[in-house]
A and B are shown apart, each in its own frame.
Chain A
Amino acid sequence: MRRTWFVILAALALALAIGPGPEAGAVSPEELPGWMRDRTEDHLFYKAAPYNFSVYSVPQLARDLNGVAVGHAMAYEDLVTGRDSELETETFERIDRVLRNPPRFMPDEATIGPTFARRFGALEKLFDWAHVLHAQTIDVLTDEALSNDAKDAEIERLWRFYLDSAPYTITGLPLNMDFLWSQPESEAFRKKYPKVNGLFWGYHWLQTSMYDMLWRTSTDTHVPQYELVGSRYHELELYKTDRDFMPMMGETSPRFAGRFHEMANAFDNLHMLHDMVNDVLASPELDPAEQDRRIAESMGKVLTSTHADCRAGEGEPGTLHDHRFPAGMPGMGMMKGSDEDVMYMSGMGWMNMSECAHCSVRLPKGNPWGATLSMEGWTMTVRCLLCARDMATETPGRGIVRAATEDPARTLVLIGDEEGNWTSSIPEVVFLETEGGDHPECTDWSRAFTSREAFDSYLLRYPEYAEVAPLDLAAWSVRGRPTPETYQKIDRPNPYRTEEGGEE
């Protein structure tokens, strides 16, 4: 008898020591909020504002976002109407046709996916309300009348409006993505429908990449920037089937995610909810009632109400309430294999997001904040313009540099072609770059100015650079240095792949 108790206690201790399994942190049906059983439509409209629908000032972006809505709805509708066997063929082709010729106006997803909407009404509310937040944020960013600071203040108001107007909101806390994607059915959709999953992740790439493209950049640059971003979306990002994980806000719009981390987390959690729903619907071993239950549970995992008493940066690792985030990136939850210092980023490898992606020196705080470089589908933050240019030179393809100037209200946007020729959003831009500066001080000697006067004014304050000649765009473009000696590559294997290169 005593031995039996010993065995039971030992088993319990072992279970606790091993830690939570995939079901740990599950949200029980009793814990789900009452609104999920409510059977009304509960349509909520945008926050009334003059900037609403400004996204149409970047016409192709607006149309592509309209196409995303159709793509989501068509796939869901076919999944729940017994056409799942056609998903990789006819459904994919049908969606692809729409994505190539996206609708002029945002369609009502419930009209395109009526069966899905009837079956998952509560989920539709959760999706729709978060999509309204998505849309209105983009409207603010594309508005031509608001200043950058006014846009930031309005985005904060939008976040409060989102949370205060309805109970069906997605938490702005970082969630552990590895935990959320370790459910029994996780990855079923990606494995079974790689092409359509590629589309979903392509949509999410667009929906996350557009924030840094639009945030604190002049509205004049939005159309030319989107010409590059949109062509990449259509040519490559939609058709990738080899991503390790869905695109994250912190990876594709690190500046916006760092500034509006709650919103960035909510969008990542929304996109993860899409993946969790997809995986449940792609699991034929689950009968419809079980699918409904698992989807309700998935919703419960990302709701604001589920995490009401939690705080960012805290929580038990690897659980539903793991709200830690990687260093320097409060707008992103922990990923597979990541710890507080480093995380694995598809296409880039292991990164410390509090450091420059090019020279590994700690990123500055305040202005000048440095620059970002968008290439090959990623957007990395670097300390200075030299780092941005040299990193671009090392990377094939077209790119966009967004960089601080002496004027916090004016972001320099440089759009580069395959040959390394750049066009500038500020025609009078002047660069400072010394020949032999050390990287830890690169934010002092590698800078952009909106005018020659601003350059001269800076030199008056920093006489140690008095002998340095100003560089125009053409002269600056052809400069280059080897990889800085400060750069430290983090040499670890891809956590999503086996040593042989297969999937984990």
Chain B
Amino acid sequence: MSRRWLGVALASSLLFASTQTQAVDHNRVESGRPLGFDDASVIGRGERSLEFGLRGGWRRDGSASARPEVELGYGFARNLAAHVSAHLSIGPTLENNDGGTELEEFTLTLAHHLRRQTLNGPALAYRVDVAVPTRAESSVRTRLRGILSRSLRQYDTLHLNADLVVRPGASALQREVSVAAALGYSVPIGFPRRFDRSFLAAFTTEQSEIEGQGWRGAFGVGLRQQVGFRSVVDVGVESDLFVPREGANHELRVNAGYSVGF
């Protein structure tokens, strides 16, 4: 079953990558593409987006994992978009030490842009992600993310994300509520000669979902490169700076993805 899912995801990736398709600008930032923060915009009304991503993780103990994902988005109203995504995992991950290949979870997202940036105020948005795990022992996880984007100088922008994660069916070992935050930075690079590339950097930190454990913090850099009139390739590298408990594995993560709007 898992292998079939993986096959479908990879085949779809190849199919879409090989056709001339069209969404999504290099300067739009979305969580996972490639770093863990969002900007305060949503895809336009009527726009559909399809995104493929692959996250590889390498731990200090030598183990490795891969996490392919596919996401479909739709701007169903002005300033409102819905996304549905499926995540697979191959090998041991931070969330699943057991390894193996499985369809890990589906995520349903509602993104709502509230305010564009003006000369006096930042852009604001929020998104709600409901992650539905496929494993019976895991519980539904809901994340409410508040997003603020504000230009730093003329072209570069800071993005502040604040998360509240709620696990209604948490086990005794798990926190029912945890928090996370991200400080992201994006800037188009190549001006005034090229207009198809953005550099990103982010510091992300999240409270461990395990009761009694502390925080994980990571820093990453990434690039979004427009490769078609509506398609973008992204790549990012992220490394843990600190881990939630002594002796826990540090991880180096590489994200790569392809997004297309149509």
Contact = CB atoms under 8 A, between A and B. Distances in A.
A119 interface: yes
Contacts of B194: 103
Contact of B79 (A41, A53, A81, A118): A41
Contacts of A104: 196
Given A46-B46, A53-B229, A41 B113 contact: yes
Interface residue range, chain B: 35 or more
A40 B79 contact: yes
A40 B116 contact: yes
Interface string A78-105: 0001000000000000100110010111
Given A52-B262, A119-B118, A40 B78 contact: yes
A438 B230 CA distance: 55
Contacts of A45: 43-47, 75, 261
B212 interface: no
A41 B41 contact: yes
B27 A97 contact: no
A105 B196 CA distance: 7
A40 B114 contact: yes
Interface stretch (A106-114, A224-232, A319-327): A106-114
Given A43-B45, A103-B195, A107-B196, A118 B117 contact: yes
A1 interface: no
B118 A39 contact: yes
B58 to A, nearest CB: 34
B78 to A, nearest CB: 5
Interface string B114-136: 11111101010000000000000
Contacts of A81: 154
B151 interface: yes
A458 interface: no
A157 interface: no
Given A40-B114, A98-B192, A121-B118, A115 B154 contact: yes
Nearest to B151: A114
B262 to A, nearest CB: 7
A119 B113 contact: no
B142 interface: no
A45 B262 CA distance: 9
B229 A105 contact: yes
Interface string B229-262: 1100000000000000000000000000000011
A111 B188 contact: yes
A132 B124 CA distance: 25
Interface string B86-129: 00000000000000000000000000011111110101000000
A70 B44 CA distance: 21
Contacts of B41: 41, 43
Contacts of A119: 118-119
Given A44-B46, A45-B43, A97 B154 contact: no
Given A40-B114, A41-B116, A56-B229, A70 B193 contact: no
Contacts of A98: 192-193
Nearest to A67: B195
A314 interface: no
A42 B79 contact: yes
Contacts of B42: 41, 43
B196 A40 contact: no
A97 B78 contact: no
Nearest to A106: B229
A121 B45 contact: no
A48 interface: yes
B118 A43 contact: no
A341 B228 CA distance: 48
Nearest to B115: A39
B22 interface: yes
A283 B45 CA distance: 36
A249 interface: no
B193 A97 contact: yes
Contacts of A53: 22, 229-230
Nearest to A124: B116
B25 interface: yes
A155 interface: no
Contacts of B123: 41
A48 B191 CA distance: 31
A6 to B, nearest CB: 52
Nearest to B75: A45
A165 B22 CA distance: 21
Contacts of A39: 115-116, 118, 121
Interface in A49-83: 52-53, 56, 70, 74, 77, 81
B226 interface: yes
A118 B44 contact: no
B118 A70 contact: no
A39 B45 CA distance: 16
B44 A112 contact: no
Interface string B178-191: 00000000001001
Contacts of B22: 52-53
A74 B155 contact: no
Nearest to B114: A40
A45 B261 CA distance: 10
Nearest to B23: A45
Nearest to A128: B44
A102 to B, nearest CB: 10
Contacts of A107: 195-196
Interface in B180-231: 188, 191-196, 226, 228-230
Contact of A111 (B25, B48, B79, B115): B25
B232 to A, nearest CB: 10
Contacts of B48: 48
A47 interface: yes
B235 to A, nearest CB: 18
Contact of B195 (A40, A111, A165): A111
Contact of A108 (B27, B115, B118, B193): B27
Nearest to A77: B154
17 contacts: A39-B121, A43-B44, A44-B44, A44-B46, A44-B78, A45-B43, A45-B44, A52-B22, A53-B229, A56-B229, A74-B192, A103-B194, A107-B195, A107-B196, A111-B27, A115-B154, A121-B116
